[in-house]
Structure 1
Amino acid sequence: MRLFTCLRPPPAVLEHVEHALDGVAPVPVGAGPPPLRWVPSTQRHVTLAFYGEVPDGALDDLVGALTGVGLTHDPLRLQLAGAGVFSRSTLWIGVRALDDDGALVRLMAACAAAAEGVSHLEPRDRNRAHVTVARVSARQHREEADRRRRSRRGEKLRAPAVDLPALAHALSVYRGPEWLAEEIELVQSHLGAGRGGGPQHEVLATLPLGR
């Protein structure tokens, strides 16, 4: 099973950020697939830890360990704020904890440690909580690679179909409504089973935060 843990923003928060994205989304030009693949609002979440492929028989142990994590971490008052780009291809909205700057980072580290002996992935040093909202399409990846090759040859280039840094800059002042995160979700990702060939997410367990 391909598993991860996350915090799920409530519908009002997701709707608020959707309106902000509508205001900066590039207008499609010409035929063919759009340059950006927007993550469906129902799949937007704050990833706490990604475990990769986990054996079916290890699920109960992982749920037990994450239950313990929930009991030792209080609910978090969070806000979506700012934006950025990963690897020239992923647009994200930032997440911040309002009462304790380090609380969210500690929760992420604890969720990663809960899979010790279960996940075959090396724990990642994650300290930038975020919600992924869009990814560059495969077509746009190819066009960008071609642009870089032509740039090295000194050729004159037309503007790219989508400018992710410009979108992130436009969203850098974004501030969403506050919400209280009170539970962790353990989610299975079914690759290719969702809309348009994307992943389909299935919540396997919901674990409360705090005693």
Structure 2
Amino acid sequence: MRLFAAIVPPQPVLAHLEGALDLARSASGSWADDRGPAAVRWTPAEDRHLTVAFYGEVPEGSADDLAEILALVARDRAPFRLWLHGAGVFDRRTLWIGCGGDTAALAELSDAASDAGGDVLGRRDPRERSRGHLTVARVRGSARGRPGPGGGGRRDGGRVDGGRRLPSVRAGTTGPATDVAALAHALAVYRGPDWAVESFALVASELGAGPGGAPRHRTVARFDLGAVAG
């Protein structure tokens, strides 16, 4: 099965983010019903997470060994605080929300969880996860260069900061990739409520099994962070 380790923000944090996304989409004013669902795939709110380490395909027996080591990783680390903050786009297609707070503790947890994969599977997550992020949307491959209705033009939006609308956003062209970039600009100053990270999870991901072709996620094990002695 395909596995990864992740921190799942609590429901109030995810609800606050959803409100900011709704406001930013409304302010951008270009998410036409005939393009949005087909061109952009939104991550289901219940599946949004901060990836700690990615393991890929893992044999059933190795999954148990991996869970045992991750439990030790969690036991030796104290809870820490994070908040969702800022936004950006990877490769003109993936809209993400960043995070602030004790990002050093997050990076240390990611390193240890990646090492666990190396110990059990003989391979380590090659991506350095020093900057935690939460993916909220992806432009489908065929829609990356697709112009929107009406071709070019100018469009106004608004930045979102804790639910407040800020100065306008402009773009010279329209289309899914441009819309996602405008949303990232609008959400660049977003800051969500902080929370205590007290656990992380080992998650199984079944590609294409979720709504609209999204992955379906299932929590395999959850690990509570323990106070560090001394």
Stretches of 4+ moved more than 2 A in 1? 26-35, 117-123, 141-144
- After TM superposition, the structure 1 = structure 2 runs for residues 12-51 of structure 1, keeping only pairs within 5 Å, are 12-25=12-25, 26=28, 27-29=30-32, 31=34, 33-51=37-55
* Structure 1: distance between partners of 2:116 and 2:220: 16
Q: Say how many residue pairs are matched.
A: 196
The answer to whether the 8 A contact 2:82-2:103 is kept is no
The one-letter code of the counterpart of 1:116 is G
TM-score (norm 1): 0.86
Q: Indicate the SS of the match to 2:110.
A: helix
* Structure 2: distance between partners of 1:112 and 1:8: 18
* Structure 1: distance between partners of 2:80 and 2:112: 15
* Structure 1: distance between partners of 2:202 and 2:188: 30
| Residue in 1 that maps onto 2:81 | 77
| Residue in 1 that maps onto 2:117 | 115
The one-letter code of the counterpart of 2:144 is H
The one-letter code of the counterpart of 2:13 is V
Q: Measure how far apart 1:200 and its partner are.
A: 0.5
**Aligned-residue RMSD, C-alpha:** 1.8
| Residue in 2 that maps onto 1:202 | 218
TM-score (norm 2): 0.79
The answer to whether the 8 A contact 2:145-2:175 is kept is no
* Structure 1: distance between partners of 2:181 and 2:31: 18
Between the aligned residues of both structures, percent identity stands at 47
* Structure 1: distance between partners of 2:38 and 2:23: 17
| Residue in 2 that maps onto 1:136 | 139
Gaps of 5+ in 2: 148-171
The answer to whether the 8 A contact 1:3-1:189 is kept is yes
Match of 2:183 among 155, 163, 167: 167
The one-letter code of the counterpart of 1:201 is H
Shift in CA distance, 197/102, structure 1 to aligned 2, threshold 3 Å: same
The one-letter code of the counterpart of 1:161 is G
The answer to whether the 8 A contact 2:87-2:97 is kept is yes
The answer to whether the 8 A contact 1:62-1:114 is kept is yes
Gaps of 5+ in 1: 145-157
